[in-house]
Structure 1
Amino acid sequence: MRAYSEVLKVPGLARIIFSQLIARFPAGMMSLGILMHMEHLHGSYSAAGLVLAAFSVGMATAGPFITRLLSRFGTLTVLLVTAAISAGALLLLATQAVPLWVDLLAGIVAGAATPPVTPTVRTLYPRMVPQRLLSPLFSFDAALQEIIWVFGPVLVVSLVALAGTGVTLLVTIAIQFFGAVLFILNLEVRRLRIPPTTRKLGRVLRKPPVLLSVVISAMFIGGFSAVEAGVVGTFGEGALEAGIVLAVSAIGSLVGGFAIGSRGIAPWSVAIRLTVVLAGMVIALPMTEVFGLSIALFIAGLGTAPALAAFSAIIAGTVKFADTPEAYAWIGTGQLLGAAVGSALAGVCIDAVGGVGGVWVGAVMVAIAAAIAAIFRRHQPDLRHGIGDPPDTAPIELPR
């Protein structure tokens, strides 16, 4: 815990962490909000899964392009413009009863214009703390973001039960826009200067640790998206039980992140942490009650934040500063494509066999992720002795 206290003593860092947490809070609400609202409008989890997949594909496709604009137009302009466009497209989803193909297009636009808060803040972190504190900071960030998954799902299902799916989605949109503005108000964010990269788009994927992180995290997040849909399918739209189960899973991730988050990353770390996740999902397969599913997904959650922290640390330790926004964007792209595939497959399986179908999809995807991490462990860096100094620097302009 000493490392975490050192992190929080860095001037301005606690403010940055809080504001980016608010900006990212809708991530814990958006998937369920879109899934429930589209199922309510179109009467099918398959249709709802397609719209959610369109949203994820839009975000995944545009992510690397949007992050490269940060160095060209600056964080202020990019964050404000994307927040406005995304909010407009989401408003169409929330307020208009339109054909499915229109909702699919709106989902793509909303996803593509999602403000790039995560790549921005993870690029900013190495400029604010000593390199020896980066691994604990990434772990702290990954663990703390589980607050999103503790309260987000519960808030969504509670609002759906009280006010309906449309109002719930409107609340989610408002939080996303307000959070983006709050994040932008930080002087450190507005004055972050990212040097233009000399590499072509996608060249950073030639680094084996980056490519592995993209592929593994895609399967991992896809698996959790499938399980999330499976839990909703098990208990039904607006059921508080679904929110409780997902919140307990997030609490497990919070516990896991704080318990082992300060440990260095070894070549075996990702595989071991994903194996913990897989074990919980396998236990969840025969479960249909709140208690059993909660215990199983709590176990799965113990490996979640540590795995996410490992991906961030790997990027920080292997990629030049000018290329880190794009690298983090590719991680996001992989995760979102995985979520799109997981959601779509889960929707079909839920319609066919019920909520357990989504859990099966999730377990298979996480098993593949763990196997890849184990097989290609030699291509993952050994960061047990620290992340090291970044090759390039671009200082933040501080107020005079």
Structure 2
Amino acid sequence: MAGYRDLLRTPGVGRIIAAQLTARFPSGMTSLAILLHVEHITGSYGAAGLVLAAASIGQAIAGPITSRWMGLWGMRRVLTLTTVVCAASITGIALFELPVPAFMVLGMLAGLSTPPVQPAVRTIYPKMVNSRQLTPLFSLDASLQEIIWILAPVVVTFVSTQISTVVGLLAIVVILLGGAAWFISSPELGQVRIPRSKRRFGKVLSRPAVLLGTFVGFLLVGACAAVEAGVVATFGEGGVEAGLVLAVFSVGSLVGGLASGSIPMGRWATARRMAIVTVGLVITTISLNVWWVGGSLLIAGIGVAPVFAAISAMTTSSVKFSDTAEAFGWITTGQLIGAAAGSAVAGFLIDGVGPVGAYWTGAVFAAVGLAVAVVFHRGFPDLRHADPSPLPDTTTIPIQTV
């Protein structure tokens, strides 16, 4: 913890972490709010899963594109435009009772315009701290984002079930606008300029660490999305148990992330951390008792933030600074496609065989992620004695000869 205190004393670090966490807080609320709202209107978890899938696909398409735009037009311009469009789309979902295809269109528009806060802040981090502090900063970031997943599900579940799902969605809009305004106004966004990448779009995926991080992230988030749908279906939309159980899941992730911050990351780091998630999710399928589900998700959560931290550190160390935002855009895309797949599969299995189908979906996604991390462990960089900072951008310097 002393290392984290020193890190937070670095000028600007505490402020930018707080600002980006606030800006990203709606990400822990939106999926659950849409799930509850659409299911309330249509009476079908399958329909709600389709709307969530449309939103996630929209985010997946936009992720690397809007991230790369930040190098062309600047972070503030891109973040402002996307925030306004996203807020308008979520407002439309809240205020209008529409057929499922229309909800899907609005969901996709909201996804396409999701502000690229995560790629922006993870591009800024290497310019704020020294190389020794970068890996702990990624661990701290991955851990503190679990505050979102601890508080957001409880807040949105309580508001949506005890007041109305419309109010739940409108609350998201208010937080989105306020949080994004704080982050966009942060001095660091003006001090750090992302260079225009000289590589063609998508070329960054040729880096093994980026490609593997994208695929592992896809499977991990797919597992988490399936579990989220399963918890809501298990404990119903009339109580607060679902939000509390999901909060316990996030507490495990918070603890695991903070504990792993000082552990060196070798080629097997991602595999070891995915193993914890897999074991916890497999245990979850044994019983749907609230204490059993909460306890097993606590175990699974211990590995979640450490996996995200490993993906961030290994991605940053494998690309040039000008490609960092796009790389994290692709990482985000993989995670959001995973959310779409996990939500859709879990939704239909809930309608078909009950909530246990969602937990099995999560366990299978995690197990495949573990297998990928094991089989392709050599594709991850060994950072135990290496600098995790981005590779320097180089250019040709003309030399005058006599």
After TM superposition, the score normalised by the length of structure 2 is 0.96
Q: Is contact 1:75–1:192 with CA below 8 Å preserved after alignment? A: no
SS in 2 for 1:318: coil
* Residue of structure 2 in register with 1:69 after alignment: 69
Provide the C-alpha distance between the structure 2 equivalents of 1:319 and 1:156, rounded to a whole number of angstroms. Answer: 37
Query: Do the aligned residues in 2 keep the contact of 1:316 with 1:387 (CA within 8 Å)?
Result: no
Q: Matches of residues 144-163 of structure 1 in structure 2 within 5 Å?
A: 144-163=144-163
Contact kept, 8 Å, 1:160 with 1:238, in 2: the verdict is no
The CA distance in 2 between the partners of 1:130 and 1:162, in whole Å, is 47
Equivalence map 1:85-104=2 (5 Å): 85-104=85-104
Residues in 2 aligned to 1:391 and 1:212: alpha-carbon distance in whole angstroms:
18
Alpha-carbon separation, structure 1, partners of 2:113 and 2:386: 35
SS of equivalent to 1:103: helix
- What do residues 13-34 of structure 1 show as CA deviations (whole Å, max 9, x unaligned)? 1000001010111111111001
List gaps (5 residues or longer) in structure 2. Answer: 395-402
Q: Could you tell me which residue of structure 1 aligns to residue 398 of structure 2?
A: none
* Corresponding residue number in structure 2 for 1:231: 231
Residue type of the alignment partner of 1:270: T
Q: Counterparts of 1:72-83 in structure 2 under 5 Å? A: 72-83=72-83
- How do 1:251-266 residues align onto structure 2 when only pairs under 5 Å count? 251-266=251-266
Aligned pairs for 1:358-397 within 5 A: 358-392=358-392
Q: Is the 8 A contact 1:264 1:386 kept in 2?
A: no
Structure 1: unaligned runs, 5 residues or longer: 395-400
Distance in structure 2 (CA, Å) of the matches to 1:167 and 1:238: 16
Equivalent residue of 1:26, what SS?
A: helix
> Distance in 1 between the 2:11 and 2:292 partners?
43
Q: In the aligned structure 2, how far is the partner of 1:323 from the partner of 1:334?
A: 17
CA separation in 2, counterparts of 1:388 and 1:334? 22
**Aligned residue number for residue 275 of structure 2:** 275
1:164-207 CA-to-partner distances (Å, cap 9, x unmatched) read 11110110121112111110111111332111001111000011
Following superposition, the deviation at residue 316 of structure 1 comes to: 1.1
* Aligned positions of 1:291-330 closer than 5 A: 291-330=291-330
Whichever residue aligns with residue 341 of structure 2, its letter is V
Partner SS state of residue 382, structure 2 = coil
Output one character per residue of 1:267-321: Cα deviation in whole Å (capped at 9) or x when no partner: 1110110110011111110221211111000000000110000000011111100
| 3-state SS in 2 of match to 1:200 | coil
Matched, 1:34 2:38: no
Specify the alignment match of 1:343 in structure 2.
343
Change over 3 Å in CA distance of 1:389–1:41 after alignment to 2: closer
Matches of 1:28 and 1:134, distance apart in 2 = 25
CA distance in 1, matches of 2:52, 2:387: 36
The 2-side partners of 1:276 and 1:94 are apart by 38
Measure how far apart 1:392 and its partner are: 2.3
Corresponding letter in the other structure for 1:382: D
Counterpart of 1:397?
A: none
What is the rounded CA distance, in whole Å, between the counterparts of 2:18 and 2:132 in structure 1?
A: 22
Q: CA offset at residue 71 of structure 1?
A: 1.3
RMSD over aligned Cα, in angstroms?
A: 1.1
Contact 2:313 2:388 in 1 (8 A): no
1:244 is matched with which residue? 244
Instruction: State the partner residue of 2:208.
Output: 208
User: Displacement, 1:388?
Assistant: 4.1
SS class of match (2:345): helix
Kindly provide the CA deviation profile for residues 97-156 of structure 1, in whole angstroms up to 9, marking residues without a partner as x. Answer: 111111111111100101110000000000000011100000000001100010011111
Task: Report the counterpart of residue 139 of structure 1 in structure 2.
Answer: 139
Residues of 2 paired with 1:389 and 1:325: CA distance?
A: 14
Once residues 122 and 238 of structure 2 are traced to their aligned partners in structure 1, the CA distance between those partners, rounded to angstroms, is: 34
Asked if the contact 2:126/2:389 (under 8 Å) is kept, the reply is no
Q: Which residue of 2 aligns with 1:398?
A: none
- In the alignment, what sits opposite 1:43? 43
- Matched letter for residue 143 of structure 2: A
CA apart distance, 1:393: 6.0
Is the 1:230–1:350 Cα contact (8 Å) retained in structure 2? yes
Q: CA deviation at 1:389?
A: 4.4
Letter in 1 for 2:83: A
- Do the aligned residues in 1 keep the contact of 2:134 with 2:389 (CA within 8 Å)? no
Shift of 1:260: 1.4
Q: Shift in Å at residue 390 of structure 1?
A: 3.0
Is this contact kept in 1: 2:146–2:250, CA < 8 A?
A: yes
Residues 389 and 243 (structure 1), Cα distance of their counterparts in 2 relative to 1, 3 Å cut: closer
2:260–2:306 CA contact under 8 A, matched in 1: yes
Classify the secondary structure of the residue corresponding to 2:317.
helix
Determine if contact 1:131/1:386 at 8 Å carries over to the other structure: no
**Residue of structure 1 in register with 2:108 after alignment:** 108
Q: Which amino acid aligns with 2:12?
A: G
- CA distance in 2 between partners of 1:198 and 1:393 (Å): 10
Letter in 1 for 2:349: C
Superposition TM-score, scaled by structure 1 size: 0.97
CA distance in 1, matches of 2:114, 2:145: 18
Contact 2:38–2:48 (CA under 8 A) maintained in structure 1: yes
- The corresponding residue for 2:194 is 194
* 2:5 match: 5
What are the superposed Cα offsets for residues 82-106 of structure 1, whole Å, 9 maximum, x if unpaired? Answer: 0000111111101101111111111
Contact residue 219 and residue 369 of structure 2 kept, 8 A: yes
Q: Offset of 1:230 from its aligned partner?
A: 0.5
* Matched letter for residue 102 of structure 1: A
Q: CA deviation at 1:387?
A: 3.0
